[in-house]
Amino acid sequence: MQKEKRHQEVALSSKIKALIFDLDGVITQTASVHARAWREMFEKYNDHRKKKGQGSFTPYQGQEDYLEHIDGKPRYDGVRGFLQSRGIQLPEGEPEDEPGYDTVCALGNLKNEIFQGLLREEGFRTYQAAVNKIREFRKEGFKTAIISASKNCRLILEEAGIASLFDVRVDGLTAGSLGLEGKPAPDIFLEAARRLKVHPDEAAIFEDALAGVAAGKSGKFGQVIGLARSNEPARLREEGADAVIHSFEELRSYYHSFEELPSAIGQFETIQEKLPDGEPLLFLDYDGTLTPIVSQPEDANLSEEMKQLLRQAAEGAKVAVVSGRDKRDVEQRVGLEALYYAGSHGFEVSGPGGLHFEYEKGKEVLPVLDEAEETLKRELGMIEGVKVERKRYAIAVHYRNVAEERAEEVKQKAEKVLERYPRLKKGLGKKIVEFKPKLDWHKGKAVHWLVNKLQEGRDGRCPVYIGDDITDEDAFEQVRQENGIGILVGDHGELTQAQYRLADVDEVKTFLRKMLKNDTS
C-alpha cells in the first residue's frame, strides 16, 4: 500500500509581526472563477475577430496561459500580456470603456462583467484552513492585511463574511488611485506594509501566483511563503519563495531555536507582569524538568529540594505535573497530594477533591497496545541496551543505552513494527520512540482541559508550562492559545513554540524560587 505523502511543516520567522495575504487562490477559491471568466472573454474575442475578418489567434490554453500571462496581475496587464503573446496590439483605451473588443480596457471590463456574472450565479468558497489559521494568528497578536489586483476585493470579502479578519485592504481600486504598479512590482505589498506600520522585513507574504512571489521577494519582505495550489512548488521557489506550503494546516507560528529564546530568569519581571493576581496555573513536565535525564527511567527520582519547592508553590498556585509517564508512577515519585497529575501524555488526569479524568476513546486502543508491546519485546529484546517500557496509554522504546552504531537500527525496527498497527502513531522524544493511540489527544489537550477545570469561573488566568521535550510542544502551543507562557528547559534539538528558556533543572529551581519570592537576586 502506498504511504500518504506528508508535507513538511513551515514556521513563521520569529521576527515577523505582520502577515500580508493575497486574496484569489490563497484565501478564497475565486482563482478558478477568474480563470473561467478569462477563458470565456478570450473565446468571445476570438469569435469577434473571426466575424470581423481580422483573423483568429491561437485559442486560450487555460492553465498554461493563465499562469504565464495573467495570474496575480492587474486585469488590464493580464489582457495586455496575453495579447502580446499572440502578437496582437490594441489601443489602451480608458478604464471607463464599455465592455467590448476594441481596446485593452474594454476587453478587461468584459472579463470583469463575465466574472461578476459567474459569482452571482454560482458563488464561491473560501479556503477554510486559511481562514482558521488567520483567526489564530490574530489572537496571537499579528497584524493582517489583504491585497488583490482585483477591483472586486471588497465585494468578495463582504460576501464571504471575512472582511473583519484584515486590518488593511489594498486592492485594484487602491492601486489605481495611487498609481501603484502591478505585480511583479512589489508596490501593492509595500503599501500594505506601510499601512500596517511595519518594515517590510517584519512582514510575511502569502502568495500562490508566480508574479506575487516575485513581487514579495523584490520588496525584500521578511518571509515569502508560496501556496502550491496551482503552481508547482519548484516554480514558486524559483521565483523566490522562502518556503512552500500546500495548505495552511502545514503552517505554524512562532517557532524559535533554543538559542533565540530569552532567559526566563533574565526576563522574570516581564513574565511576572503577565501573571494575574491570585493563584497562577503552573504546569511542569517531570523527566528533564523536575529531575535530570538519567540513563534508566526508574532512577529519575525527585530531589527533596525540588519537592519542597513544589510543596510551597502549591500553597499559592494550582500546580500540575504533566508527564509521559503513567499517572500512578509520577504521582508516587512526586508524592504531593495538593498537586494535579496528568499521566500518559494527558490520557489520564487526577487531582485534589477527587478530580479524575480519563480520555474514553483511549481505552479502546489498550488491547492494540498490549499486542504491540509483545511484538516490540520480541523484535527488539535481543539488542543490548534497548528498554521497552509499557505505560497505560503508550509504549516507550528507549535506546539511550544502545551502542551508537545500532541506534538507527532500533529506530527502523520500531517503525517497521508500528506499520503493523494502524491505530497507533509514533511519538518522538530524547532517545525514545513512542507508540501512542492515533487519537487527537496529547499534553496540550490535557492542559486545556485542566485550565478549564481550574479557572473556577474566573477569566484572565495565565497558564505557565515548563517542559523539556518535543512532546511538550503541543502544550507550548496550547498555552499560547490560552495567552499563557511556555518555557523550554534545555535544547531538544528542534524548533520550539516556547517563549522563554531555562538551561537545566537547576535553573528550573531558581525560577520556582523567584515565583515563590524566596530569591530576589
Expressed in angstroms, the distance from the first to the final Cα of the chain is 60
Q: Is 71 a catalytic residue?
A: no
Residue 364 has what DSSP assignment? Answer: T
Rounded Cα–Cα distance for residues 477 and 456 (Å): 23
Cβ–Cβ < 8 Å for 447, 441: no
- Of 24, 3, 19, 8, the residue nearest 230 (C-alpha): 24
Rounded Cα–Cα distance for residues 287 and 297 (Å): 8
Q: What is the 3-state secondary structure (H, E, C) of 265-280?
A: CCCHHHHHHHCCCCCC
Task: Give me 438's grid cell.
Answer: 492515533
Q: Where are the beta strands (DSSP E) in 438-510?
A: 463-467, 485-489, 500-502
Cβ–Cβ < 8 Å for 68, 211: no
Q: b/e for 408-444, b at 16 or more Cβ within 10 A?
A: eebbebbeebbeebeebeebebbbbbbbbbebebbbb
Cβ–Cβ < 8 Å for 279, 319: no
Rounded Cα–Cα distance for residues 259 and 108 (Å): 52
Rounded Cα–Cα distance for residues 411 and 407 (Å): 7
Rounded Cα–Cα distance for residues 345 and 327 (Å): 9
Q: Which one of the listed residues 22, 171, 329, 469 is annotated catalytic?
A: 22
Rounded Cα–Cα distance for residues 84 and 91 (Å): 12
Rounded Cα–Cα distance for residues 56 and 86 (Å): 10
CA angle (453 as vertex; 450, 454 as ends), nearest 5: 85
| Residues pairing with 10 in the sheet | 251
**β-strand 251-252 against 281-284: which pairing, if any?**
unpaired
Q: Which residues, in sequence order, are CB contacts of 367 under 8 Å at separation 6+?
A: none
User: Dihedral of CA 294/297/303/306: which sign?
Assistant: positive
Q: Is 97 a catalytic residue?
A: no
Residues with catalytic function: 22, 24
